[in-house]
Amino acid sequence: MTPGHEFFDPPSPIVSGFRQRCPRCGEGKLFKGFLALAPACDHCGLDYGFAEPADGPAFFVMSGVGILVTFVFAWVEVVYRPPIWVHFVTVFPAMILGCLATLRPVKAWLVASQFVNKAEEGKFESLGRHDHDPRRL
């Protein structure tokens, strides 16, 4: 058991991500806006200050939706050869709606993964000499 986890059995990041809930208790809301995180969980009080997925969600969503929609576009073009306007009215809305629909769950999933795996920016153990151990001061 690590501190902060004594009374909780955190759900899988996939589950809390899909439900867009708190990564610790699985109940409180994660978002207060479309993509803005709430300051803390309204159920268990977990401070969401640790969460900083940066442009990770956008990267995963753009790549995933882009590859999928492009694959379907290419398949439709090869099999049916529709006029170009069919692609304009299907591919662009599919890209936009696909990205908007998946951004929140993907961001929630990354935040939950950060919480479960305790990911944070890299820190140096020691900033001093080679033989300097800051724990033995």
Q: Which residue has the tokens 């033995």?
A: 136
In eight-state DSSP terms, residue 82 is -
Stretch of 11-19, 33-41, 88-96, 112-120 lying at the interface with Zn ion (CB under 5 A): 33-41
In 1-130, the DSSP E strands lie at none
- Of residues 13, 16, 37, 46, which one binds Zn ion by CB under 5 A? 46
Minimal distance in Å, beta carbon 41 to Zn ion?
Answer: 3
Stretch of 16-24, 87-95, 98-106, 128-136 lying at the interface with Zn ion (CB under 5 A): 16-24
- Work out whether 44 is an interface residue with Zn ion (CB under 5 A): yes
Q: Which residues contact 11 (CB under 8 A, 6 or more apart)?
A: 21, 23, 26, 112
Q: Which residue has the tokens 């409180």?
A: 28
Instruction: Name the residues that contact Zn ion, by CB under 5 A.
Output: 22, 24-25, 28, 41, 43-44, 46
